Amino acid sequence: MLWIIITLLVIITDQLTKYIVVKNIEPSDMIPVIDKFFYLTLHRNPGGAWGIFQNNSTIFLILIPVIAIFVLITIIRNNDRFLRVVLALILGGAIGNYIDRIAGGKVIDFLLFYIGSYPFPIFNVADIAVTCGTILLAVYVLFIYKEPEKTEQGEEQNEE
């Protein structure tokens, strides 16, 4: 149940922030939040992170539902609460950006950070959720996950 709440919170927060930005910021605007470091802007991204696949957004229309279904099946089949939360972040972020692609063909990005004079690629709440979920998934796989023990008959034994 918690994973459903997290997924919905990510989607709602992502879509609400994008709606507010679209209604209040022009594409040419750069509104300083912390001058010379953090700005709000409006960018419609046809590709993925760092502009990958900008000329072939069809890949995302096909790939994201496949990944989302795989993540959903993994959530449903797994009883590990931490893993479910992590995958809910990824699922919510993927759905949030997918909604943009279906509605307008491009993902709405609006968070712009400068690292020195380098502008970090513009991103959104869904991207934050996917990134945090992916990092936590790596932590889970590397440090938390334990292979289920096999019984004498060779069947996996779930620990709960």
Active site residue 14: no
Distance of CA 8 to the CA centre of its chain: 12
Phi, then psi, of 43 in degrees rounded to 5: -135, 130
Distance of CA 103 to the CA centre of its chain: 18
CA angle in degrees (0–180, nearest 5) for 107-110-115: 120
Instruction: Give the residues across from 40 on adjacent strands.
Output: 31, 111
The catalytic position among 29, 35, 100, 109 is 109
Active site residue 29: no
Residue 86 identity (one-letter amino acid): V
The catalytic position among 14, 29, 35, 127 is 127
Instruction: Give the residues across from 35 on adjacent strands.
Output: none
Active site residues: 109, 127
